[in-house]
Amino acid sequence: MKARIAEVFESVQGEGLYLGEKQIFVRFFNCNLSCVYCDTKLDRFMEYEPHELFDEIKLYRDKYHSVSFTGGEPLLYKDFLKEILKLTSKHGHKHYLETNGTLFFELEEIIDRIDIVAMDLKFPSSSGMGNLWPMHKKFLKVAVKKEVFLKAIICQATLEEDLREALGLIKEISPSSVLVLQPNSYENQPVLNEKLSRFKEIANQQKVTTCVIPQMHKIVGLR
């Protein structure tokens, strides 16, 4: 059993609620989506067997908050994940899954070994991927078995109706979860700031805990 891994490295988390936490990152190659704002352009990989990846993870000997399985989309390799998660669990690692929030069947098979789910919500008006709400709904119903927070990229094109759809989803399935609004790094920030302020006010009115957190690793020049 092998998986295509683009890179393994140590850094600090640059997005979401665990901003600043030191992690080991395992970036999987390939994704089942092609969002228009995607900033992860992968053009190379190495193939690993689970024990080979585990041996590489063990080379990092500092204290880390968790191992971040990111991508691409890690859940495309759910059988591989089952095996590597068994190994890293025995080694005492916490598991942080960064995912586009669509592969709910695959999540169900590994959720017992995941500690934190950082789940994307792909707004149709932002991502260009069409209506993924039914998949997000099924995914979140599985993710709530563990700690989960949600992230949404906000662009100049993002529509208020998509935000309201997301807020309704959270209120229905996981009302205690936090929604992170993340400005698209490649667009005019003053324009986005105005939209983000309005969106945050709407979320507050709907009683969904919401915060605005940019991609800090890009701002400070981290990997």
Tokens of 66: 């968790």
Quick check: 73 and 103 in contact, CB under 8 A? yes
- Mean pLDDT to the nearest integer, 53-73: 96
pLDDT at position 219? 56
pLDDT at position 218? 56
How many Å apart are CA 213 and CA 98, to the nearest integer?
A: 16
Helices (H) and strands (E) in the chain, counts: 8, 9
Q: Which comes out higher in pLDDT, residue 160 or 221?
A: 160
- Provide the mean pLDDT of the chain: 94
Q: Which comes out higher in pLDDT, residue 186 or 7?
A: 7
Query: CB under 8 Å to 175, separation ≥6 — which residues?
Result: 207, 208
pLDDT tens-digit profile of 2-25?
A: 999 999 999 999 999 999 999 999
Taking the domains of the chain in order of start, what are their residue ranges? 3-220
Query: CB under 8 Å to 221, separation ≥6 — which residues?
Result: none
How many Å apart are CA 20 and CA 159, to the nearest integer?
A: 30
3-220 CATH, one of 3.40.50.300, 3.20.20.70, 3.20.130.10, 3.10.129.10 = 3.20.20.70
Whole-number percent of the chain with pLDDT over 90: 88
Q: What are phi and psi of 57, to 5 degrees?
A: -60, -40
pLDDT at position 223? 58
> If we measure between CA atoms, which residue out of 112, 108, 132 comes closest to residue 121?
132
Q: Is the peptide bond before 221 cis (omega within 30 degrees of 0)?
A: no
pLDDT tens-digit profile of 134-150?
A: 999 999 999 999 999 99
How many Å apart are CA 145 and CA 153, to the nearest integer?
A: 24
**Angle of CA points 131, 194, 201, to nearest 5°:** 70
Query: pLDDT-based confidence at 103, cuts 50/70/90?
Result: very high
Task: Give per-residue burial for 129-144: e unless 16+ CB within 10 Å, then b.
Answer: eeebbeebebbbebbb
Report the SS3 class of residue 66: strand
DSSP 118: E
Tokens of 74: 């890690």
The pTM of the full predicted model, rounded to 2 decimals, is: 0.95
Q: What are phi and psi of 122, to 5 degrees?
A: -95, 95
pLDDT at position 220? 54
Query: pLDDT-based confidence at 222, cuts 50/70/90?
Result: low
Asked if residue 168 has pLDDT above 90, the reply is yes
The answer to which of 39-53, 62-76, 159-173 has the lowest mean pLDDT is 39-53
